[in-house]
């Protein structure tokens, strides 16, 4: 199994490099609408795209959505309306290097920087003392873990966040060639390859800081919930689920239908949303 994932990883890098050389297509009407309904804030001279929708009347709950690799906040498009019916505010951003946010080069991309950007957005929106729920996926899981670690140490964010963790134990790489392909900037030659290599350093960061980030999950009193697609090739069933329950026995788990894979919020938005809201409404 280990040899298989090594081969997959070695194949993925050149495929992504080729993919980055493809001229970007025109934005679809859906993506144009997504961009026009959002805005930007500045973090250290970088323009960071985000969306902030006001939703349910009578609710004070806020949810911040953290997307995965190599996609963007558009990953949440199919459950956005459903979330606005439950939460007072629904907020998502494109991490630096992704989506409509800036992609500086050269730049040392890191999970720590992405977490700081999320903190910056929280402060920019005046949510410093508000209760915040975190809903994360893939790359965003590790950012959420760093936020949780910071929360435990500094209380920067209120320590009452419902965290959805989907992909943080496996070093494997989940590829998506879906609609956010058109959100990247065109890159050519060695510059494009360097940019890809720089972004992919998060995999090494996961390995290096595993004790820090998994330790934050094991130490927190924040309610945790996993929404899992059994067909996920990155986190294979049942090994991943067994490991998750062993490491985080107090976390609750929702297992979706057998055909659901690595992007459950897109593959089964109704099932995903129901699982998440059932968890939120249990408090």
- What digits encode the pLDDT tens for the residues 82-132? 999 999 999 999 999 999 999 998 899 999 999 999 999 999 999 988 888
Question: Residue 238 and residue 99: Cα distance in Å, rounded?
Answer: 33
pLDDT of residue 117: 97
Does 179 reside within a domain?
no
Report the relative pairing of strands 163-164 and 89-93 from DSSP bridges: unpaired
Contact 24, 179 (CB under 8 A): no
* Three-state secondary-structure class, residue 283: coil
Average pLDDT over every residue of 139-147: 92
Cα-Cα-Cα-Cα dihedral sign, residues 244, 249, 251, 254: positive
Is residue 187 pLDDT above 50, yes or no?
no
Q: pLDDT digit string (tens) for 225-269?
A: 999 999 998 888 998 889 889 989 999 999 999 999 999 999 999
Find all residues with CB under 8 Å of 8, minimum gap 6, and list them: 172, 173
**Residue 235 sits in which domain range?**
31-167+186-281
For 246-269, give one letter per residue: b (16+ CB within 10 A) or e. Answer: eebeeeeebebeeebbbbbbbbbb
Q: pLDDT digit string (tens) for 37-47?
A: 999 999 999 99
Does 11 reside within a domain?
no
pLDDT of residue 161: 53
DSSP string across 113-153: HHHHHHHHHHHHTT-TTS-EEEEE-THHHHHHHHHHHHHHH
Is residue 179 pLDDT above 60, yes or no?
no
Question: Residue 55 and residue 181: Cα distance in Å, rounded?
Answer: 29
Contact 224, 163 (CB under 8 A): yes
Per the DSSP assignment, residues forming a β-bridge with 64 are 91, 134
Does 21 reside within a domain?
no
Q: Which helix (H) or strand (E) segment is 54 a member of?
A: strand 46-54
- Which tokens hold the place of 74? 């558009």
What is the residue-averaged pLDDT of the chain?
A: 82
CATH number of the domain that residue 215 is part of: 3.40.50.1820
Distances (CA, A) of 201 to 29, 107, 109, 110, 134: 33, 11, 7, 7, 23
Domains contained in the chain, number: 1
Q: How far apart are the first and last CA of the chain?
A: 40
Does 55 reside within a domain?
yes
Radius of gyration of the chain (CA): 18
Does 136 reside within a domain?
yes
Phi, psi of 279 (to 5 degrees): -65, -50
Is residue 9 pLDDT above 80, yes or no?
no
Does 192 reside within a domain?
yes
Q: Which residue has the higher pLDDT, 16 or 181?
A: 16
* Three-state secondary-structure class, residue 221: coil
Quickly state the pLDDT bin for 200 (edges 50, 70, 90): confident
Average pLDDT over every residue of 48-70: 92
Does 8 reside within a domain?
no
Is residue 277 pLDDT above 90, yes or no?
yes
Burial of 111 (0-12, 13-18, 19+ CB in 10 A): buried
Does 23 reside within a domain?
no
Q: ∠ CA 244-248-249 to the nearest 5 degrees? A: 105
pTM above 0.85?
A: no
């Amino acid at each position: 199994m280990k040899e298989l994932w090594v081969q997959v990883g070695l194949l993925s890098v050149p495929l992504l490099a080729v993919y980055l050389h493809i001229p970007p297509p025109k934005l679809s009407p859906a993506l144009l609408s997504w961009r026009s309904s959002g805005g930007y804030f500045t973090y250290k001279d970088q323009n960071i795209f985000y969306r902030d929708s006001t939703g349910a009347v009578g609710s004070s709950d806020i949810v911040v959505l953290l997307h995965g690799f190599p996609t963007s906040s558009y990953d949440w498009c199919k459950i956005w309306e459903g979330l606005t019916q439950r939460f007072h505010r629904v907020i998502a951003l494109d991490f630096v290097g992704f989506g409509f946010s800036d992609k500086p080069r050269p730049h040392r991309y890191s999970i720590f920087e992405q977490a700081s950007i999320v903190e910056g957005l929280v402060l920019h929106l005046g949510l410093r003392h508000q209760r915040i729920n975190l809903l994360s996926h893939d790359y965003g899981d590790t950012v959420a873990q760093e936020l949780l670690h910071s929360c435990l140490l500094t209380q920067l964010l209120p320590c009452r966040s419902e965290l959805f963790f989907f992909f943080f134990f496996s070093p494997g790489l989940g590829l998506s060639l879906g609609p956010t392909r058109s959100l990247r900037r065109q890159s050519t030659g060695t510059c494009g390859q360097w940019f890809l290599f720089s972004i992919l350093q998060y995999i090494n960061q996961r390995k290096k800081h595993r004790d820090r980030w998994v330790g934050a999950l094991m130490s927190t009193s924040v309610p945790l919930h996993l929404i899992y697609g059994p067909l996920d090739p990155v986190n294979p069933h049942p090994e991943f689920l067994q490991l998750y329950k062993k490491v985080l026995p107090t976390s609750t788990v929702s297992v979706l239908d057998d055909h659901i894979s690595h992007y459950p919020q897109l593959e089964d938005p109704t099932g995903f949303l129901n699982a998440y809201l059932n968890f939120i409404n249990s408090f």
